Amino acid sequence: DQQVKQNSPSLSVQEGRISILNCDYTNSMFDYFLWYKKYPAEGPTFLISISSIKDKNEDGRFTVFLNKSAKHLSLHIVPSQPGDSAVYFCAASVNKGMRFGAGTRLTVKP
């Protein structure tokens, strides 16, 4: 059920720089996309979402971009902070429960 893919298992960036996490999906019926952040021994925490009728959504340092024609979305974190170090999951849904990617481990170095 690989409908949502995160092809980069890890990403390392310097503090203050931009982090860009990518996600691809195959099901064109998905109408709602989300990013979750996960720390060890905790459940995923909701970060930001975007509806399929939009192509951009911002919340503070976090911006999600959606390219429906390419079936691609990305999460930009600017500026990156050491506390952003975590595993980031991309998820997509249509009426039913979310389908998740495998996650990208982000490390922000001081």
Partner 1 sequence: EAGVAQSPRYKIIEKRQSVAFWCNPISGHATLYWYQQILGQGPKLLIQFQNNGVVDDSQLPKDRFSAERLKGVDSTLKIQPAKLEDSAVYLCASSFRTGGGSTEAFFGQGTRLTVV
Which residues would be at the binding site for partner 1 (CB under 8 A)? 1, 4, 6, 31-32, 34, 36, 41-46, 49, 89, 91, 93, 95-103
What is the rounded CA–CA span in Å between residue 88 and residue 96?
21
What is the rounded CA–CA span in Å between residue 13 and residue 80?
8
Sheet holding 56-59, edge to edge: 4-5, 19-25, 72-77, 62-67, 56-59
Residue 82 Cβ vs partner 1, minimum distance, rounded to whole Å: 23
What is the rounded CA–CA span in Å between residue 49 and residue 57?
7
Residue 100 Cβ vs partner 1, minimum distance, rounded to whole Å: 3
Of residues 41 and 70, the one with the C-beta less far from partner 1: 41
Of residues 42 and 110, the one with the C-beta less far from partner 1: 42
Of residues 19 and 100, the one with the C-beta less far from partner 1: 100
Residue 39 Cβ vs partner 1, minimum distance, rounded to whole Å: 11
Contact indicator for 64, 74 with CB cutoff of 8 Å: yes
